[in-house]
Structure 1
Amino acid sequence: MVEIIGAGFGRTGTASLKRAVELLGFDPCHHMSEVLKQPSTTVQWTTALNGDPSVLPELLRDYRATLDFPGCLLWREMMDLYPSAKVLLSVRDPKKWYDSARATILSPIRNENIDQNLAALLAPFSEAMASRGFRRDLAEADMIAVFNKHNETVRAAVDPSRLLVYEVSEGWEPLCAFLGVEVPDVPFPRSNDSASFRDNVTKIISGRAQDMAT
């Protein structure tokens, strides 16, 4: 059962936050990396993004938390499905977010090893995310406006008692207080900076392409 609904866009520290919430016991946590490891799930995610959330309970059956894309685009639907779940809106300075996103998630990964079947799965999935506002063809000012509007909408719609607006630079204390757990005696995770992002995605996609070809 999902207990944490991540409403923040990717590149707001969600890779670090995934490790953090899992260390706090909310394991496993769904993240875009899970989609890349299990590309067949893009079919169901595309269905949900296109307006049919009935597939979400099966998709998220084994997860206790969600973060990043594509779940952050379905935060309203998840709030209805999991009325006791808390909403975690990870945020970042908009300009820094855009610069990081442009170098990573807004820049298509081109890999000669990508299997055609995998590419066929990812294309409608990307289109469905674009229909929800996450488009790669927008200019900087327009993309930042999308980012800001998303965050403002979440802030306005979610009851403050159910919502944490959070930057990963804040560390353990506000996160643990919000989730009602003790602060662990380990450093807060730091991972997946822009420099390593593309290599990580390429490795995952290449691996999946090889699996699908065998």
Structure 2
Amino acid sequence: MIDVLGVGFGRTGTLSLQAALERLGCGPCHHMDEVLSHRETVPDWIDAAERGTADWDALFRGYRSTVDWPGAFFWRQLAAHHSSSRVILTVRDPEKWYDSVANTLFKAAGSAPPSGVAVNPEAMRVMTMMNLIVWDGVFKGRFADRDHALRIFAEHSEAVRREIPADRLLVFDVAEGWGPLCDFLGVPVPAEEFPRLNDRTAYAEKHRARLAAAMAQAGGRPQAAPATP
């Protein structure tokens, strides 16, 4: 049963929120990193993307919360299915968000395997899932178009704010720390600092390396990451 539904896009502090939710007793928390760690679920996510629905209870069995993609792609379905769940929309400066995705997830997705290296079928399935859910599903194959991606980012935020009742929704910047999150969930503020997981941490590096390896084995996307200032 999902108690907390994170609907923010990847690279909006979802790694930090995952760690925070688990610290607050709302774990295990699902995240794309979980899919990459348990690749036996990849075919189920591909099927969900192709059909637009799934057996959500089976897909999230054992988890009490979810953040990041792939769950965030199905936010409407999940919010309806788990009608009593609290919803958290992680937000970030749009320009910084785009640069972050371009230089991590999208760059990994554009990696190509060395010449002569056989394509790993399992990794190919990971790439298919990422394409169906993120690059084609969310961004309609146009993430490299900065203005288009930023418009999708803004429209997603607007849709969540419009469709989720205010008393069920927390719009959350992880820079705000424990306060708003704990107030929203009705739990005490922990003594330790709020987890700050980003590209300089070992956890994020592991996530990036795992995704890059999966994409490289599968051949990645044919387009390269756009240049950033």
TM-score range, shorter chain: 0.7 to 0.9
Distance in 1 (alpha carbons) for counterparts of 2:150 and 2:201: 21
Task: Give the letter for the 1:83 counterpart.
Answer: S
Say whether the 8 Å CA contact 1:16–1:191 is kept in structure 2. yes
Distance 1:30 1:114, change over 3 A: farther
1:37 alignment partner in structure 2:
37
Range 185-194 or range 128-137, more displaced: 128-137
Distance in 2 (alpha carbons) for counterparts of 1:159 and 1:204: 34
Identity of aligned residues (%): 38
1:9 alignment partner in structure 2:
9
Distance in 2 (alpha carbons) for counterparts of 1:67 and 1:132: 17
2:168 alignment partner in structure 1:
162
Range 102-111 or range 167-176, more displaced: 102-111
Query: How does 1:1-214 map onto structure 2 within 5 Å?
Result: 1-109=1-109, 110=111, 116-129=120-133, 130-135=135-140, 137-138=142-143, 139-193=145-199, 197=204, 200-203=207-210
- Structure 1 unaligned blocks of 5 or more: 210-214
Task: Give the letter for the 2:175 counterpart.
Answer: S
Say whether the 8 Å CA contact 1:88–1:163 is kept in structure 2. yes
CA-to-aligned-CA distance 1:88-130 (integer Å, 9 cap, x gap): 0000010010011111112234365896122221232123214
Say whether the 8 Å CA contact 1:53–1:77 is kept in structure 2. yes
Residue correspondences, number: 209
- Structure 2 unaligned blocks of 5 or more: 217-229
C-alpha displacement of 1:132: 2.6
Task: Give the letter for the 2:173 counterpart.
Answer: E
Distance 1:118 1:13, change over 3 A: same
The two structures have a TM-score, normalised by structure 1, of 0.88
C-alpha displacement of 1:134: 3.2
CA-to-aligned-CA distance 1:177-205 (integer Å, 9 cap, x gap): 10111111110001132786455432477
The SS at the match of 2:51 is coil
Distance in 2 (alpha carbons) for counterparts of 1:114 and 1:84: 46
